[in-house]
Structure 1
């Protein structure tokens, strides 16, 4: 009887450990994907900032040419 209960507990513990490891792996993958998304967003923001700067400079040049 005790052996059976211990085996059941051991099995449950192993199942929970397996599930925990799967969730850790999943979390790691999600963090990796989020890091890539953030990196892409930062690059896009930098690109847009440069584009806006170019537009502002072009507008200033047009204003100077009109004078």
Structure 2
């Protein structure tokens, strides 16, 4: 299973964007976006993650881990 950052990287590649393009779309600096992607605090109230996911048409899905009940 991918980490949130890896899923974003895959989605960027699929739509032909890079991190700088996404930063411009979100109206943040590339450095701010890199910090968010590095920390991966998806649930933080001050996080850019909701905007990142929305901009790329992604959603968070919670499911049981393989091998667990």
TM-score scaled to structure 1, two decimals? 0.21
Higher-Rg member (1/2): 1
Between structures 1 and 2, the one with greater helix share: 1
Asked which structure has the greater RCO (Cα within 8 Å, sep 6+), the reply is 2
TM-score scaled to structure 2, two decimals? 0.21
